[in-house]
Amino acid sequence: MKTLTRLLPLATLLLVASLAGCGKQTASETQADMAKAQASGDKSVADARSTASEQMIDARKALADKQEDVAHAGAIAGRNVTVAEAEATHKVSMERCDGMSGNEKSRCVTLADTELAAAKANADATKALRDPKG
């Protein structure tokens, strides 16, 4: 037992000394690990930049699509307002024509109808120019 008691501190000392050297790298091993870490970091940054670039392309396309939708809706709304104004004017003109008779009334109605048709054609042409979807 005495021998064991004497050997125990020596064994502990040897164990501690051997563990102290564990995990310690040489300078070349440290340099190699640093190079690997740098390469891994560079790849991560390149991947993140690539992903960000793709996301920006997608966002720009989505924005362009939305802008096209807004322009389309605006063109339709503009046409509808122009036609509504023309139809309101036509109703007033027709009421004026109702106060006439004979040839004068016929010319009045023809003029009112022609003006309405021209206004609708103009509204359609303007819509076609402004509408990116046709």
Q: What is the pLDDT of residue 24?
A: 82
Q: What percent of the chain has pLDDT over 90?
A: 80
Does a structural domain hold residue 131? Answer: yes
Report the domain count for the chain: 1
Confidence of residue 134 (pLDDT cuts 50, 70, 90): confident
Residue predicted with more confidence, 108 or 14: 108
The 10s digit of each residue's pLDDT in 77-111 is 999 999 999 999 999 999 999 999 999 999 999 99
In a domain, 72, yes or no: yes
Tell me the DSSP string of 16-81: HHHHHTTT---HHHHHHHHHHHHHHHHHHHHHHHHHHHHHHHHHHHHHHHHHHHHHHHHHHHHHHH
Which structural domain range is residue 65 located in?
52-134
Residue 9 lies in a domain: no
For the stretch 15-36, pLDDT in tens is 555 555 556 889 999 999 999 9
Q: How far apart are the first and last CA of the chain?
A: 102
Query: Considering the domain boundaries, does residue 71 fall inside one?
Result: yes
| 102 found inside a domain | yes
In a domain, 85, yes or no: yes
Within a domain: residue 38? no
Is residue 47, in this structure, part of any structural domain at all? no
pTM of the shown model? 0.62
